[in-house]
Amino acid sequence: MNTKKVKTIRTLIVVIVCSIITIGVTVGICCYNYYGYINYKKLYLEDYFDQNEGTNLSTQEKIQKAVKWDADVYTDKLNIQYRDPITKEFITEDKVSNDEAENVNAYYENYVLHLPKYFDINFYKVLTSYYDKETKKTELSVAHYFYFSNINYNQIKDFSPQYIYMTFVDGVGEESDLALQEALDEMSENELSVGNVSSIYYYSLTSSDNQDVLATYSLYDNPRDVYEDDEDEDKSYYIYQNRCAKSYDNNTVFGQTRELTFCVYYINDSDEGDKELINIVEGTFTPELNDEDEILTNEEFKALNSNYKGYNKEFYQDSYNAFIRPKIIKTGLLTFGITLLLCGLLAFIWLYEPKATENAKSKSTKKKR
């Protein structure tokens, strides 16, 4: 075979092999960084949940992002009405001006209840979906949540948001109001705290193989006030979440009755005296109904056009893509450059033929002649 043709074929093979190696390594590294590199997921969640203690987002934005992360679909456009626990007047966009009210200057705007005396309240209905390995079907689960933020820590001495409770009774009207008041009186007299307790919102990142917790992310609050004599200047304040579950008599699930009357209250468990129950706000809630005038099923709720689409705790979506794209491009270019350089060096070694060897062969041929 012609020597020149052999060299051409050899060069072509080397170029193809080096190209495959360069592209393969670059694509492999980029795919690993996108799907498997846990540190990028941690960085994304730190940015998503604004872990720099409220430097970028308002509390309302943080709550909405947290709900969006957890939910398959969600909404805050719900049939809920808040009222003052003393005057029983409903709280609207106009600030409460009655001096006898528990929540003077309170108002409800853009689906957020602002209680200057205590905190702000967001209320969400959240649907999540998961694959059940036993039934081999995708199951749907619905829950209702209160979120407490912009907490006024100066209102109550030694205020601890984990002592914010929520409870409810079936129905609306005088009988339900009386039943709710009787429940509060019973808890107050017996120093009980029967209700759905609040806790710090958090999301835990776990490993895919053994579900070990790799990192935990909470929502930092922007409290309006803190204790003036608080010695711990580095103390962090968080947004709290309360899942509305069972009624006071434990017979009804929140959202599964046509009408209900609820209250959010606080148990002041200070060392200075007995437990004090503070009724902060009351309200009524009516779940969505279908054309048959029945409470929506989970499937019907998921299909509503008025809902917002969430991430259902999945990474591979628009928010994650926007965050990681610049990092993937940077890593890909760097990997491509380094791999191309190494493959070029390898190709040079494969194709290199010392001239000294060729000259030696030429002289040897002449001597034989």
What distance in Å separates the CA atoms of residue 78 and residue 266, rounded to the nearest whole number? 24
Sign of the CA dihedral with 84 first, then 159, 231, and 236 last? negative
Sequence-distant (≥ 6) Cβ neighbours of residue 255 within 8 angstroms: 125, 142, 144, 244, 285, 287, 295
What does the pLDDT read at residue 361? 52
Q: Residue 141: which H helix or E strand, with range?
A: strand 137-149
Residue 70's SS3 state is helix
- b (16+ CB within 10 A) / e for 97-122: eeeebbbeebbbeeebbbbbebbbbb
Q: Between the CA of residue 323 and those of 31, 59, 207, what are the distances in Å?
A: 15, 21, 21
What does the pLDDT read at residue 228? 58
Characterize the bridge pairing of strands 213-218 and 107-109: unpaired
What does the pLDDT read at residue 32? 87
pTM: 0.84
- Residue type for 7, please? K
Reading the chain (369 residues) residue by residue, the pLDDT tens digits are 567 777 788 788 888 888 899 899 999 999 988 887 888 999 999 999 988 755 678 899 999 999 999 999 999 999 999 999 999 999 999 999 999 999 999 999 999 999 999 999 999 999 999 888 888 888 899 999 999 999 988 877 778 888 899 999 999 999 999 999 999 988 887 766 667 889 999 899 987 766 788 889 999 988 776 665 555 556 778 999 999 888 888 888 898 888 999 999 998 876 665 678 899 999 999 999 888 888 999 999 999 998 999 999 999 999 999 999 999 999 999 999 999 898 888 888 877 776 655 555 555 555 555
What distance in Å separates the CA atoms of residue 354 and residue 273, rounded to the nearest whole number? 95
**DSSP assignment string, 262-293:** EEEEEEE--TTSS-EEEEEEEEEEE--B-TTS
The angle formed by the CA atoms of residues 338, 341 and 342, to the nearest 5 degrees, is: 90
Characterize the bridge pairing of strands 73-75 and 120-132: antiparallel
- Per the CB < 8 A criterion, the answer to whether 150 and 136 are in contact is no
What does the pLDDT read at residue 113? 97
What does the pLDDT read at residue 88? 94
What does the pLDDT read at residue 265? 92
Q: 101, 86, 202: which is closest to 147 by C-alpha?
A: 202
Residue 230's SS3 state is coil
